């Protein structure tokens, strides 16, 4: 009987990226409109892949200007302005 050593690779995750237009309403942000920018897949650090995807689209931010908030156990990554907490972009876990 032969045993094989193999490594189980983590499942590849796919995210849909959307740009958000939000309005302040009753002390919270409400999404007014959103536009799909595309999809990215990742096996490791989804936050890093999200930023890399935005860089490939030509979207850059000043250092210390943004934060990424994980929601629903990491299924939604929300990129926010650090000072106002306004959502700018969102990456939504999707099954493609």
Would 34 be classed as within a structural domain? Answer: yes
Q: What residue numbers bound the domain in which 18 lies?
A: 13-94
Would 62 be classed as within a structural domain? Answer: yes
State pLDDT tens for residues 9-50.
Answer: 667 889 999 999 999 989 899 999 999 999 999 988 889 999
pTM of the model: 0.83
pLDDT value of residue 2: 60
Backbone angles phi, psi at 16, to 5 degrees: -100, 130
Would 30 be classed as within a structural domain? Answer: yes
> How many domains in the chain?
1
Between the alpha carbon of residue 8 and those of residues 5, 27, 68, 95, the distances in Å are: 10, 46, 29, 20
Would 37 be classed as within a structural domain? Answer: yes
State pLDDT tens for residues 55-65.
Answer: 999 999 999 99
| Residues 6 or more apart whose Cβ sits within 8 Å of residue 75 | 92, 93
Average pLDDT over residues 78-83: 95
């Amino acid at each position: 009987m032969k045993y094989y050593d193999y490594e189980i690779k983590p499942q590849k995750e796919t995210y849909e990226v959307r740009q958000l237009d939000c309005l302040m309403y009753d002390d919270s942000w409400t999404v007014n409109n959103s536009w799909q920018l595309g999809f990215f897949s990742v096996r490791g650090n989804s936050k890093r892949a999200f930023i890399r995807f935005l860089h490939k689209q030509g979207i850059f931010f000043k250092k210390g200007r943004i934060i990424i908030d994980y929601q629903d156990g990491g299924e939604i990554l929300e990129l926010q302005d650090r000072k106002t907490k306004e959502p700018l972009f969102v990456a939504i876990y999707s099954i493609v």
